[in-house]
Amino acid sequence: MATRTTAQRRFSFLRIAIALQTLTIFLQAVSAGLLLTTPYAEAYGEALHSAGARVMWGSSLLYVLAAVLAWKPGGGPLRPVWYAAGFLVLASAQVALGIAHVPAVHLPLGVLMFGLSVLALARQRRTG
């Protein structure tokens, strides 16, 4: 019984990590919208979006950690680890493209990442 409870906690941690990642990506979209539409974006929007990028990357790293903890000691499936690792690669590319100011790729990649994160969250809720 203790093993099942431990596994459930790890899956719960995985759900929380995916939800946090999805939320941070959504907030990045909001800050990007402010950055693109407000006249005072230079002062506030850019700093907010830059700080949000660090938080989003950190939440992707937390997702990897949660997936590994749900897989290895908890006996969960390996698939979420691959999803999380792929997402960390996408998040790293997103940050690099943002720093390089390549909006033609940065913006669509952000939309793709949000969609994939919502999909991962829905899949985790359905299977857990």
Give the chain's domain count.
1
Reduce the DSSP state of residue 128 to 3 states and report it: coil
68 within 8 A of 54, measured Cβ to Cβ: no
Positive or negative torsion for Cα 12, 18, 20, 26: negative
Each residue's pLDDT tens digit, 48-101: 899 999 999 999 999 999 999 888 876 778 888 999 999 999 999 999 999 999
Residue percentage of the chain with pLDDT more than 90: 61
Model pTM score: 0.84
Q: Which amino acid is at 39?
A: P
pLDDT at 8: 56
Residue range of the domain that includes 106 = 2-127
123 within 8 A of 79, measured Cβ to Cβ: no
Query: What stretches of the chain show up as alpha helix (H) in DSSP?
Result: 2-37, 45-71, 79-99, 103-127
The residue-averaged pLDDT of 8-33 equals 87
